[in-house]
Amino acid sequence: MLSKHITHQTSKNSNTFIYSTMARPTPASSMRNEHWMFDDAMNERIRSTHAPDGRVVDVTQVLQVTRNVLRHIIPNINLSMNGHIDASDDQTNLSAVDGALDALHKICCELSCKCSRGGDAHATTMAIFNMLSSYSWGAKVVLTLAAFAVNFGEFWLIAQLCTSNPLAKSVALLKQPDISEHSQTLKSHFDALSKLINAMFDVTKCIVELTQLHSSKYISIGEPPLSTAMAHIHTATYWIIASVVACTGQITGLIGMRHVFPIPTLEAWELSSLAHKVSSIHEHLQSGLRLCYERIDEKKLMEAFEHFKRTIETPQVDNLKILQNIFGKEENLLNPDRAEVCINVLRRKHVLLLISDLYISQEEIRVLEDVYKERVSSGLNYEIIWLPIVDRTTWNDDYDQEKFSKLQSIMSWYTVSQHVAIEPAVIKYIRGEWGFVKKPIAVTLSPQGKVLCPNALNMMWIWGNSAFPFSSEKEESFWKATPWTLDLLVGRLEPNLPTWVSQQKLVCFYGGVKMEWIESFTTATKAVAEALGIGIEMVYVGKKNASERVKKITGLIREKELSRAWEDNNVWFFWNLLESMLYSKNQHGKTIENDVIKQEVMTMLGYDSSKNGWAVFYTGSGGMVKANGEKVLSTMDKFDEWKNLAKQMGFVPALREKLEGAIPRHHCTRLILPSNGGRIPERVQCAECGRPMELNFLYRCCAE
């Protein structure tokens, strides 16, 4: 397969370029059919010229000056130095580039001499390879590109000054034509030249970056992805040098044209063809570099992760070192008054790290704020810091920043000053070791920086400040002293409960969102209580994650005077309290086989996840009994069957006995729990029949 190359010969009659097709070099037919790849013989020929002797050239400085030269010539050219190559200013001093300037001068001469005589482009390219055999691949391309910039710069300097500077005008008369007079004719030519120079510069930067990666401790040259990215660096180097030869030939050809300027359509096409080839090489190298930098970032992240892990698991004098590791370079926080303060203000204090994404609910903030404000009256000395976990790669400066700022404004504790304050390695630790997924957590740090509990929010919801210092040991001791009672379930939400119990009333809390069932159930239950001659109080507690529907139903319940109904805040807290109890039990390794409270909580959550309603009945003397809506309504409708039993035993014991024998043959029970860092129990028993339930995944967006 043949590849076109420019020979840069000039015709004696027309002074136009002649392009020939040469049988070298040959693209490799056995590879991915990239039009810039070579066969094994050509690859070996290029590699055989490479014999680096360890000399060091500051290619970044040379590349910066080269960039400045080319940008002055073509103002609109996009020669970016962004990325992993540091840019220098125009005051760069090349005196330290030992020996490289001599090599650059020799390349200039080689290009001027061979191209002006119409030499073989491939031969000139290989001659430059041999001339630069002692240099790295990066130095080869940078010095060659710099030599082109010198030649092109001299040509353009004369072209610019010849109309205003007498010396430049005299030199132009002897050396080159007045390009400005033919600017429109040559526009397509210089547009094509500009595109090729851009592509050459991009590939040169990639080659320099790849060669600079050799010294990185985070990646090995002998292993992928660096070895893969370096596999075709010699080919890329060849095409950069060949492109320089082609561009120099074009400029030399313009000088030889003098005052004859035919429209150079063919020349522009050849330059465009080369630009396409070199651009393809850039895409290939850029892809390899991206993989290399991803690998380096992974290694750096893991190194930082292990460092933070060692720090937080090693006993400290105080908590300051850990806090400094969390925030990295960020030294300041915003205090509750929104003033910037140094992180030192939290030294040797109990600190709760409130960890969430930007979707933490206002209800969660409100409840935590109540507990936080109560700490003063309780004489407790602890602080809270909000650590927002955000994806930096998808951050939206408008939408996300507004949400971040709004959350900051409603929090009455310490917050970070900016969303990127938390180190990525710390985020990795938070997700991996502390189990943060989406549901907010609060990690407790002692004044000495010891992690007392990986999530204290659960015990804060259940017991408030009485659980301070919010340690796992304190949480476990509380559970040992806490029985399963209605007071645990609703005591903090229903202030009338002690009065109702003292009055020996039957108390019923129920939930669901089917209005037809609610009307039937409340009517039937009131009729049963009336038949037994007992007082009854019924309270509607809504449904989890269905606030809009619950609002409508609450309005109808009050309008029809069916029962009492909680306000929205109590409804939200009730369901989150149940979930907190479950996660708290999971955190301590409790199972439904060995823990009654966990079993009861999962039953309640299972009722709510099902389509029908549910009810819990309580009397001070008879304990509690609960059931799903369908079964409890059916039992109430058949009250005549167990009326005498209720008069003998009491309402709750009789209802319990009746319900235990009323398990339907077919039933569908569901339990929907939010993700919580992989701590969802794998084995769950059905609340109706006790059989193991199947575990499925449910992805849900709408909270309603």
Cα dihedral sign for 123, 125, 131, 132? Answer: negative
**Greatest C-alpha distance within the chain:** 126
- The number of residues in the chain equals 704
**pLDDT at residue 684 tops 50:** yes
Measured at the alpha carbon of residue 289, what is the angle toward residues 288 and 290, in degrees to the nearest 5? 90
Note the pLDDT tens digit of each residue in 636-662.
Answer: 999 999 999 999 989 999 999 898 765
Measured at the alpha carbon of residue 49, what is the angle toward residues 45 and 54, in degrees to the nearest 5? 145
Question: Could you give the CA distance from residue 226 to residue 291 in angstroms, rounded to a whole number?
Answer: 8
Pick the closest to residue 620 from 521, 534, 493, 518 (CA basis).
534
Distance between alpha carbon 480 and the CA centroid of its chain, in Å? 41
Return the minimum-mean-pLDDT range out of 89-93, 140-144, 401-405: 89-93
- Percent of the chain whose pLDDT exceeds 70: 80
Do residues 343 and 333 make contact, with C-beta atoms less than 8 angstroms apart? yes
Pick the closest to residue 129 from 225, 51, 220, 232 (CA basis).
51
282: amino acid identity, one letter: H
Question: Could you give the CA distance from residue 65 to residue 146 in angstroms, rounded to a whole number?
Answer: 8
Mean predicted confidence (pLDDT) in 400-408: 92
Q: Is 681 helix (H, G, I), strand (E, B) or coil?
A: coil
CA atoms within 13 A on the CB side of 597: 24
Pick the closest to residue 155 from 172, 174, 180 (CA basis).
172
Choose between 151 and 145: higher pLDDT.
Answer: 145
pLDDT of amino acid 659: 87
**pLDDT at residue 5 tops 60:** no
Q: Is 355 helix (H, G, I), strand (E, B) or coil?
A: strand
Note the pLDDT tens digit of each residue in 604-632.
Answer: 888 887 777 899 999 877 688 999 888 99
Do residues 566 and 531 make contact, with C-beta atoms less than 8 angstroms apart? no
Element (H, E) at 483: none
Q: How far is CA 412 from CA 76, 94, 371, 433, 466, in A?
A: 52, 57, 11, 27, 20
Note the pLDDT tens digit of each residue in 177-234.
Answer: 555 555 556 677 778 888 999 999 999 999 999 998 888 889 988 889 999 889 889 9
pLDDT of amino acid 4: 35
pLDDT of amino acid 662: 55
The single residue listed with the structure tokens 């353009």 is 156
88: left (phi over 0), alpha (psi -120 to 50) or beta: beta
Pick the closest to residue 321 from 298, 300, 351 (CA basis).
351
Q: Which residues pair with 414 in a beta bridge?
A: 385
Query: Starting at the edge strand that comes first in sequence, how are the strands of the sheet with 350-356 ordered?
Result: 340-342, 332-334, 414-416, 382-388, 350-356, 441-445, 451-453
> Which pairing describes strands 414-416 and 382-388: parallel, antiparallel, or unpaired?
parallel
**pLDDT at residue 12 tops 60:** no
Do residues 443 and 323 make contact, with C-beta atoms less than 8 angstroms apart? no
Question: Could you give the CA distance from residue 142 to residue 160 in angstroms, rounded to a whole number?
Answer: 26
pLDDT band at 547 (very low <50, low <70, confident <90, very high): confident
Mean predicted confidence (pLDDT) in 304-310: 94
Q: Which residues pair with 693 in a beta bridge?
A: none
**pLDDT at residue 21 tops 50:** no
How far apart, in Å, do the first and last CA atoms of the chain sit?
65
Return the minimum-mean-pLDDT range out of 75-84, 306-315, 508-517: 75-84
Phi, psi of 279, rounded to the nearest 5 degrees: -65, -35
